[in-house]
Structure 1
């Protein structure tokens, strides 16, 4: 039997090694929706990588015009205990010129290594005529069905500023100028806003027109798009063109065909393409190194702190501490402030409440961080002042904000609610007064005369102890039988734990609020790991979780799956994509708990 067990474990190790080896291979695959493609037709080129990356470099698409891209999508699945992760960058291309084209590989950076995709060989056959980009001859444009709008119709991008600091907002307004009527229009390509956090300003359904004279010519002008940009890093950034097509009515000079032509003139419908000019924006670094308590704020901000309840505070009962950052600036881009607590206080990830509006080219309102803290002992405690630095645009200096301290008087609460792991000290054992008592040094001896081995009391006590021992053996045997069926035991235990720690996420399913659901799911899974491995919730960062799982004896694949899923949830909270439903994500979190319960020591 022992030999069989050893062979079983060896086989299991080799199987897991093969799975880890296979899953650890990072690939970048290029695919195309159709090949060959005719001129004037659209084709989708996709680059899919099965790992998180830090940089993506696309190739040049000779023979094609890029209509949109890179469009990014992410998917993650967990099936039968095996996770898969994919990130896809896709482009919509317009075939322009006949011929055979070799599209070179795209490149991605994974860790410190660069990886290349497979090249693509695409064939463009004759279809309908298409206006080509970067045409140097005006004659070639005249021969195409799609022409330049020239001075009759054009687009302009107008930035409110061309030089800003990191985090300083600027507004870009896209305006349409026309001297001709148009009967149809189509969006070809939205501008890429790489390096900026952006938010669209709602212009309403009706577009107001106004007149403007340029170089002695009268134009009808309309604002068609307005966006607020917050630069995320220093350097020269480019606002790429907005590209549109219009079918305009253009007067033509030809022999009149009727009396109406003589009176009104002749017109023809012509499709033209217009693009706004690209703009360079200089993003300046901060004049000095940001302080340690800088959380990314830029603008004019204030900070306050409050807590509830203020009376009848007891150990093991929750206290809500609210930190509010208010004012104007990049409020939606702030990191979490750092709050220091006395020892043996438990703290949970904050719930973020925003009341923020976009007005006058920036955010205004407040972001509130709602922390749940739990004191574990009675006594008088002080929460130190919370400090936060931000970059004040008016003075171009870092300013530090500071709250008042909070004094708390904690009375002794219900010790049965205690749920924290620590090494007991003598005073703590006195407070708990459960499970453990110190061994007394002065034993009371029992003389032999005090025991009568022939008494009824002796036989009755011995019989009762024997029965208790038999019942104990039966109970232990049943428990061992249950645990011998490992799959059933782990399944029942994991189901209870998943139901307990993912309860809040399940409740958010019916509220149709994806952001709150993702927050609750992430929090529930980290809480499970915190309690499972006796590590404080506040200490559960990525590296701690990884090391804790490793110390528990879990295999590398399970550790990677858990970390990847938590990172994926964090990514979805700030850059949500909809490839997966909330139900799918909840199922994956439940599977992770089942997998850890099954395989951890």
Structure 2
């Protein structure tokens, strides 16, 4: 074991020595090309890689301006690889930036040419064509395994299953997304969650870690867990389709290559990113029959309503609380505020509304509460009328009406002033607003005092010395900034980052999300690079984690920096429809992360 470590250390030292000897490569011009791997043809749900290879250099002036592929592919992540070769005494180097995507829909698509800044010049790639095959992803099959590992589709997949596929308009149902695996999964994340069109959606995924269990499917025993659960309520009749969700799963695989084991992971395992896609779902939504009662609650299921008051006797002009509760099965959130039908001598304030829903059987159940404050203005035996609401009983296939009983209220005392009456009173003068003017003038006394005894004299006398000291300090600071690049970058890091965030805020109102997220990523990545004196272009997540961890930045802050950068990348390469308010919230989040990062590095 000791000899193996020594041999490995020796080989690494030799590689570093060769790199140092090579230095800047002379005689090798900088060239750029783009290509797809594993090829130009890919199946729906399978991953592919857009490679940007820069020959003749191992550094980038700025990140390549990769075009938007969001119409047919989902961005998964990026990485960089560098290489150096010596052939017949000639040294050549190259840098490859790899952008991983997942194919989403069938067709032939063009990736247009784009520019790459390298070697002090702008280079343009050739356009590429990617053909996504029409091979559908059957239920229970993976969207595909990508990368080094060759994971079969039947060994890792995600399914989408609905509790109902034939429902009424307004009838809730639940969709579960479940991952099935025969391989060692270390982590996963959703890379694409389409917004269902024509549905009201509520996430009802249980809090905490997914519950793992062993289930048999098609004769094979899988490790499985529900990773997402959503309740959906259709907002109109017709055939509706739920598009697949996309995941990237990190899979641990053992390598059979002894040289790969020797130079790589000493335990013979590596993590392979694998893209998978769920099956689409089609739901048939039937309209509600005619003849709905008014007022209609919008509930399709079961509904019960009750009404109570906190006391049955009250003085005129005193408040009483009326509580109306609607509960049952269905979309209880849709229940509107009830019509009370109170006499005109009742003053009614807007209700306080609270609600709670949870999955129940194939749909939802819940409760919605309305609390009204009522003020009767006239005495007498009053009555709060019964409250009625219509709903559709899905089991019986007919409309029903839920109602409360009338409530008796005894109002005592005498009739009071209405809400528009104003009590009148006299105006009392409490204090005089302006003090009287003093008529007698004070006396002035002259003081004989030497000029040098005053503070002003000494301030003027010392001013030249202060000026000279200030000039010396400014000169030293300027020399330090010009001579120490790392110090200069660290000094201006916060100022430059704030300026970039301000520019991003101006871009937030635009319809194209890409410039906004590119500027935010530039601000955050630039802050890290300036603080740590690193090259901004090509700064990857792994290097970022290691560098920040070495500077003592807390793991939570490092994870938040990485999450913000990954979110920017996803929106830049496959932008979804983001409203300006979401952009503002993201700007605030990035601002907080930058503040925490600055404090941690400066400690």
TM-score scaled to structure 1, two decimals?
0.45
TM-score scaled to structure 2, two decimals?
0.45
